[in-house]
Amino acid sequence: MMGTVRVLVVDDHSIVREGLRSLLEKESDITVVAEAPDGTSALSAALEHQPDVVMMDVSMPGMNGIEATRRVTSLVPDARVVCLSLHADPHIVSSMLEAGASGYVVKSADLIELATAVRTVAAAQTYLSPAIAGGIVRDHLARRASLPSEPRLTDREREVLQLIAEGNGTGEIAGRLFISAKTVSTHRENIMRKLNLHNVVALTKYAIRQGISTAEPDL
């Protein structure tokens, strides 16, 4: 690929962001144009800086990497997202790819793999870490194809579900999303109806299983 690849690094840990910047900028054809600590900030940074590649953490509070990926790829269609995660769980891998990610790298990757992933997705190709590529992902996607499709939640419903799973009450969710408590209750009812789940424990387990939340509540 001609020119320098411009990268936005998104992770809620400053030491991880700094480490990624330091590693990536050892490569003469890669530059980090911005950093963001969460999904909401990632959207603003992507719109402002128009990066070629976004390195996106999955596990972030507020708006997780799956939701942020879905929105970044919608609002900045030329940006390619590489998921960077500790998790190699097939549900999370599949959810990120379905959200629009072009690559998935585990955090144990070295500089060579990180740089390869960035260059690969910048060239409009897909990159998967060897740790998750091959049979695991193919088998998982094949199983998903043979099952009834998952209920489709709206962007707002997924936001509400994540906040429920993270232990927020109706008032807290309303304040975080700048909506009324009545609207939160309506979203909660719609989520329960669509998923056929009827209590917070069940919703939380579903959110964790689908990668919508990585919270680990005392269930």
pLDDT digit string, tens, across residues 139-157? 555 655 655 566 788 889 9
Per the CB < 8 A criterion, the answer to whether 104 and 85 are in contact is yes
Q: What is the pLDDT of residue 2?
A: 53
d(CA 24, CA 185): 44
User: Where does the pLDDT of residue 218 fall: very low under 50, low under 70, confident under 90, or very high at 90 and above?
Assistant: very low
Q: What is the pLDDT of residue 92?
A: 81
In this prediction, residues 188-199 reach a mean pLDDT of 91
In this prediction, residues 1-13 reach a mean pLDDT of 87
User: Where does the pLDDT of residue 134 fall: very low under 50, low under 70, confident under 90, or very high at 90 and above?
Assistant: low
Q: What is the pLDDT of residue 217?
A: 46
Query: Look-up: residue for tokens 């629009």?
Result: 100
Q: What is the pLDDT of residue 142?
A: 64
Using CA of residue 147, residue 148, residue 154, residue 159, what is the dihedral sign? negative
User: What domains lie within the chain, and their CATH numbers?
Assistant: 5-144 (3.40.50.2300), 155-209 (1.10.10.10)
What is the token pair recorded at 47? 């719109």
Per the CB < 8 A criterion, the answer to whether 69 and 100 are in contact is yes
* % of the chain residues with pLDDT over 70: 88
Coil/strand/helix, residue 122: helix
User: Where does the pLDDT of residue 1 fall: very low under 50, low under 70, confident under 90, or very high at 90 and above?
Assistant: very low
pLDDT tens-digit readout, 166-187: 889 999 999 999 999 999 999 9
d(CA 49, CA 133): 31
In this structure, the number of other CB atoms found within 10 A of the CB of residue 193 comes to: 11
In this prediction, residues 21-30 reach a mean pLDDT of 94
CB-based contacts of 174, cutoff 8 Å, min separation 6: 180, 181, 183, 184
In this prediction, residues 38-53 reach a mean pLDDT of 96
CA distances from 144 to 13, 32, 33, 137 (A): 33, 36, 37, 11
Coil/strand/helix, residue 26: coil
Smallest CA-to-CA distance from 51 within 73, 79, 74 is with 79
pLDDT tens-digit readout, 62-120: 888 999 999 999 999 999 999 998 877 777 888 888 899 999 998 888 889 999 999 99
**Beta strands, E only, 114-217:** 127-128
User: Mean pLDDT of all residues in the chain?
Assistant: 87
CA dihedral 7, 8, 13, 18 (to 10 degrees): 40
Query: Look-up: residue for tokens 């990120």?
Result: 96
